[in-house]
């Protein structure tokens, strides 16, 4: 079993911990720099929505996301960071939800990191499982990695390293899809990939995300949200979907656009909502925030 690594907090973008702190204070939209006295980050605001500039169009974008999600009976949490890791847009960023298959990114990234540090040696079979877990969202591949390498610990250690305070391993050991997280944490993780991993491994993981198959290993159509076409070519995305836990339905889409923008869309719907309606809400959310 891999040993626990020190927690170096290797962020080049010092804004990220501040971004997470600001996100948990409420829903915000930024156009000013994090250190600017007019920024909600500096002011420590807890308002439900702060529009820094009428030119951002953020109010309209978030209203559109909320409206389409409400039509499907649910909510979609949103976080958008620019290529420098600065906060652009957020709504419901601190709302806790099950990760579903998004946890696969945390596990794969942590395994790569441990391999880089010499704490373990990944085999060719391991790498094949990791790729399948990301590209086709293969649940069997994920389960094999989770059991072999103590997935609970992988999630806990990486979350501690990155300061992801809203992310926790599942209460029911082995039920990896019930790992909990927030949109703020997913965005912070994606924005820090080039700090967690060396250049080769970061490129490999993002390459797998860009190679997401149209149909997942379980037959689910992955062409929704950031993969519905509105995000353009070259998007590196991971999709997640799950039903049956707490009588809810989760549908998530998170990734990095071709220009480096990080977009996280976490959908939470009642079990009575159809997958078609949930997908329509995620598609509309993606179109609204990447326009």
DSSP string, 17-74: HHHHHHHHH---B--S-TT-TTSHHHHT---S--BS-GGG-HHHHHHHHHHHHHHTTS
Distance, CA of 135 to chain centre: 15
Q: What pLDDT does 54 receive?
A: 27
Q: What pLDDT was estimated at residue 4?
A: 30
CA atoms within 13 A on the CB side of 47: 11
Residue 134 in tokens:
């990301």
60: how many CB neighbours lie within 10 A of its CB?
12
Inside any domain, residue 1: no
Whether 7 is covered by a domain: the verdict is no
| pLDDT, position 58 | 66
Tell whether 10 is covered by a domain.
no
Taking the chain (291 residues) in runs of 10, the rounded mean pLDDT of each run is 31 40 44 29 27 44 94 97 94 97 98 97 98 98 98 98 97 95 98 96 98 98 97 96 91 98 98 97 96 76
The pLDDT tens digits for 17-67 are: 444 444 444 444 433 332 332 222 222 322 222 222 322 336 788 999 999
> Residue 8 falls within a domain, yes or no?
no
SS (H, E, C) 117-134: CCCCCCCHHHHHHHHHHH
Domain-located, residue 272: yes
Residue range of the domain that includes 52: 15-290
**R_g (Cα) of the chain, nearest Å:** 18
Give the count of domains, the chain: 1
- CATH number for the domain spanning 158: value is 3.40.710.10
In a domain, 202, yes or no: yes
Contacts of 26 (CB under 8 A, 6+ apart): 45, 46, 47, 48, 49, 50
Q: Is 109 inside a domain boundary?
A: yes
Domain presence at residue 30:
yes
pLDDT at res. 247: 84
Distance CA 154, CA 138 (A): 18
pTM, rounded to two decimals: 0.83
Distance CA 43, CA 37 (A): 7
- The pLDDT score that the predictor gives to residue 24 is 45
């Amino acid at each position: 079993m891999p040993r626990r690594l020190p927690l170096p907090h290797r962020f080049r973008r010092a804004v990220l911990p501040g971004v997470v702190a600001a996100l948990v204070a409420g829903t915000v939209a930024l156009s000013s720099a994090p250190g600017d006295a007019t920024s909600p980050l500096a002011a420590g605001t807890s308002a439900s929505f702060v529009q820094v500039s009428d030119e951002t169009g953020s109010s309209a974008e978030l209203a559109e996301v909320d409206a389409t999600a409400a039509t499907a009976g649910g909510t979609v949490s949103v976080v958008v960071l620019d290529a420098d890791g600065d906060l652009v847009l957020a709504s419901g960023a601190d709302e806790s939800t099950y990760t579903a298959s998004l946890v696969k990114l945390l596990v794969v990234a942590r395994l790569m990191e441990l391999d880089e540090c010499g704490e373990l040696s990944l085999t060719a079979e391991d790498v094949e499982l990791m790729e399948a877990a990301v590209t086709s969202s293969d649940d069997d591949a994920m389960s094999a990695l989770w059991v072999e390498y103590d997935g609970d610990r992988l999630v806990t250690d990486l979350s501690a390293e990155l300061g992801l305070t809203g992310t926790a391993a599942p209460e029911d050991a082995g039920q990896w899809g019930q790992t909990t997280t927030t949109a703020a944490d997913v965005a912070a993780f994606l924005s820090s990939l080039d700090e967690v991993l060396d250049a080769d491994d970061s490129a490999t993981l993002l390459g797998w995300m860009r190679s997401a198959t149209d149909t997942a290993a379980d037959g689910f159509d992955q062409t929704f949200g950031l993969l519905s076409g509105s995000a353009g070519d070259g998007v590196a995305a991971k999709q997640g979907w799950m039903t049956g836990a707490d009588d809810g339905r989760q549908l998530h889409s998170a990734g990095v656009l071709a220009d480096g923008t990080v977009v996280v869309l976490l959908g939470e719907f009642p079990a009575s909502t159809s997958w078609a309606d949930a997908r329509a809400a995620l598609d509309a959310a993606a179109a609204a925030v990447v326009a």
